[in-house]
Amino acid sequence: MTGARVWFITGASRGLGRAFTVAALAGGDRVVAAARDVGPLEELAEEYPGHLVPLSLDVADRERVFGAVEHAAAAFGRLDVVVNNAGAMLYGMVEEATEEQIRAHMDVNFFGAVWVAQAVLPHLRAQGGGRLLQVTSMGSGGGMATVGYYGAGKAALDSVSEALAMEVEGFGVKVTIVQMGGYNTGLFTAGTTNTEPMAPYRPLRTEMEAMWGDAVAPEPDTAARVVMELAALPNPPRRLIVGSQSFDHVLEMDRAQADLYRAWEPLSRMAPG
């Protein structure tokens, strides 16, 4: 893809979304930057006049998503790269989470991304192509205590995005699942909802908190460089792990999973299906 592009980025006011927005603007592209709170984008709008359109949006609201996408498409006349980045964290054990917390979490992390995809596809199809980058997680291939619902939402988005990629490739629309590693995005602070801790899980919670540790993660702009390269590829991959350490970790998890399957192969093969 050559020339100035038009990006539509959700969750654009902080973390990875902001880093993607800054990188696109610095590269001479134009951006419609959607976020619940667009206040943090005002400075960027002043720095890049005529190139940035801040757009207030809660991706959990399907009707508002469709209206926002119409506004975004009209702002610069087209959409070239759509980044489904908006997300949040629900931190706690599976048993601890309330129905309200779980549904609110999935409304943002899974359904919000689906609503955006449904809303942008008519535009991408009509113009004969475009890019849809579905931001998930390097940990979406398996669950982990305290972040089970986050992993579940990202795993669901992984799966539906694989199906979507098959469905829309004939229209020239290319979908990539962008499996992010850990970056200093504020996800575990400003973007987190915590469950009410239950006493039986106290030892495991303490163990998990020690495992997460307090090491400083890389800054989001280091990942933005990868996304800019990805968006420029004529034939992008359907999946991309973003982060050197995360790449190694995913390969290690895959090997461990394969070993587990092989360990129980005789039991699996008892059935003919």
Task: Say how many C-beta atoms besides its own lie within 10 A of residue 269's C-beta.
Answer: 8
Centroid of chain to Cα 238: 14
**CA Rg, the chain, in Å?**
19
Task: Say how many C-beta atoms besides its own lie within 10 A of residue 1's C-beta.
Answer: 14
Per residue in 38-68, is it b (16+ CB within 10 Å) or e — as a string? beebeebbeebeebbbbbebebbebebbbeb
Measured distance CA(148)–CA(152) in Å, rounded: 6
User: Crossing angle, helix 221-232 and helix 15-26, to 10 degrees?
Assistant: 60
For the question of residue 150 being annotated catalytic, the response is yes
> If you ran DSSP here, which 8-state letter would residue 235 be given?
S
Query: Of 48, 149, 150, 183, which one is the catalytic site residue?
Result: 150
User: Crossing angle, helix 112-126 and helix 148-168, to 10 degrees?
Assistant: 20
Measured distance CA(152)–CA(40) in Å, rounded: 30
**Would the CA dihedral through 234, 129, 65, 111 be positive or negative?**
negative
Give CA torsion, residues 167, 133, 189, 57, to 10 deg: -80
Q: Which residues are catalytic?
A: 150
